[in-house]
């Protein structure tokens, strides 16, 4: 469950988000739509606790994250959020396995190796586990990023422009993965302006953002 109330975010004199009020139920799939610079990524980064709002409240899985100290917000990110970036944000000179294992390094779960194998299998990247990320294709990098996002079995999956760096086939593959996540009961928030996500039955809501405001 994500509850956002009167949320504002400004950078210097620029207001990136204005009076955002949003309620996302557990297991819902939300697609945020809007042009570049409309505030979609800023909203996602606040939900993921990458940055703090200037004002307002945000409660995720009963945790008020707006003013969490660093040590707690790291734990929150590690345990609750699986983030898939547009440019994957993998460590290029590390192997696939090491990249996927990275969130487990600071996690306190048991059976980390089991979690790693499960995530690689689910993202269909096990066969490339020892390959350096820099040697992978775009689709393989995406699968590696997906495996890393789900390795700790988070309840919320956030994807920021996930298909922007992919071709049509890999984009369709990604949609299949999203459907899998949906089946697993995860809350999914996708920010995109790719039409591939339009009128999809697995999407519960489309939210349009314009100039930092939700317009529907």
Partner 1 sequence: MLNKELFLFSIKLLKKDRSAHIFSMFIFIFIVFILASVLFISSSIKFDLKESISAQNQIIIFKQKAGIKTQIDESYIDEIIQITGVANVHGKIDGYYYFNTAKKYLHIVGDENIDENNMIVGDSIKSLLEQYYYKDYFNFYTNGKKYKINIKNTLNQNTNIISNDIMILNNITASEVLNFTDDEYSYLEVQVPNDSEVDYIALNIKEKFPQLLVSTKEQRLSDLENLFYYKGGIFLIVYIVALISFFILLYKQISSVNSVEKKQIAILRSLGFSINNIIKIKFIQNFLVSIFSYIFAVCLAYIYVFILNAPLLKNIFVANISNISFTPIIDFNILIVIFLFTVVPFLLAIIIPSWKSAISDINEALK
Which region among 54-62, 91-99, 120-128, 166-174 touches partner 1 (by CB under 8 A)?
91-99
Enumerate residues 21-50 that contact partner 1 by CB under 8 A.
Answer: 41-42, 45, 48, 50
Binds partner 1 (CB under 8 A): choice among 54, 61, 78, 124: 78
Question: Under the criterion CB under 8 A, does residue 143 sit at the interface with partner 1?
Answer: no
Q: Are 179 and 159 in contact (CB under 8 A)?
A: no
Draw the binding track, 148-167, toward partner 1 (x: CB under 8 A; -: no contact).
Answer: x-------------------
Among 24, 104, 147, 150, binds partner 1 (CB under 8 A): 104
Q: Does 70 bind partner 1 (CB under 8 A)?
A: yes
Least distance CB 202 / partner 1 (angstroms):
26
In degrees rounded to 5, what are phi and psi of residue 81? -115, 135
Comparing CA positions, the residue from 45, 43, 109, 106 lying closest to residue 81 is 45
Please identify, using beta-carbon distances, which residue of 83 and 182 lies nearer to partner 1: 83
**What is d(CA 39, CA 211) in angstroms, rounded to the nearest whole number?**
7
Report the residue number, 8 or 206, with the smaller CB distance to partner 1: 8
The least distance separating partner 1 from the CB of residue 56, rounded to whole angstroms, comes to 17
Q: Two tokens at 80?
A: 């609750």
One of 33, 40, 77, 129 touching partner 1 (CB under 8 A): 77
The four Cα atoms 108, 114, 119, 124 give a dihedral, to 10 degrees, of 160
Residue 26: closest CA among 55, 66, 60: 60
Distance (Å, whole) CA 6 – CA 198: 28
Least separation in angstroms between CB 201 and partner 1: 31
Q: Give the C-alpha distances (Å, rounded to integers) separating 94 from 90, 98, 162.
A: 8, 6, 22
Strand pairing of 29-33 and 187-192?
A: parallel
DSSP-derived pairing of the beta strands 55-60 and 63-64: antiparallel
Q: Interface residues with partner 1 (CB under 8 A)?
A: 41-42, 45, 48, 50-51, 70-71, 74-75, 77-79, 83, 85, 89-91, 93-94, 98, 101-107, 112, 148
């Amino acid at each position: 469950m994500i509850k956002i109330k009167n949320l504002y975010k400004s950078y210097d004199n620029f207001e990136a988000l204005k009076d955002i009020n949003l309620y996302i139920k557990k297991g819902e799939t939300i697609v945020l739509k809007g042009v570049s610079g409309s505030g979609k990524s800023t909203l996602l980064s606040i939900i993921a606790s990458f940055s703090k709002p200037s004002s307002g409240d945000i409660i995720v899985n009963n945790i008020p994250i707006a003013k969490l100290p660093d040590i707690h917000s790291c734990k929150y990110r590690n345990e609750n959020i699986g983030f898939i970036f547009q440019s994957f944000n993998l460590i290029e000179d590390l192997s696939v396995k090491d990249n996927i294992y990275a969130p487990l390094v600071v996690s306190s779960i048991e059976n980390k190796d089991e979690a790693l194998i499960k995530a690689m299998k689910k993202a269909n990247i096990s066969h490339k586990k020892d390959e350096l990320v820099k040697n992978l294709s775009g689709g393989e990098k995406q699968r590696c990023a997906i495996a890393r996002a789900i390795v700790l079995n988070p309840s919320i999956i956030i994807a920021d422009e996930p298909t922007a760096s992919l071709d049509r086939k890999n984009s369709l593959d990604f949609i299949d993965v999203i459907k899998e996540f949906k089946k697993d009961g995860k809350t999914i928030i996708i920010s995109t302006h790719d039409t591939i996500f339009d009128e999809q039955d697995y999407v519960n809501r489309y939210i349009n953002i314009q100039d930092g405001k939700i317009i529907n």
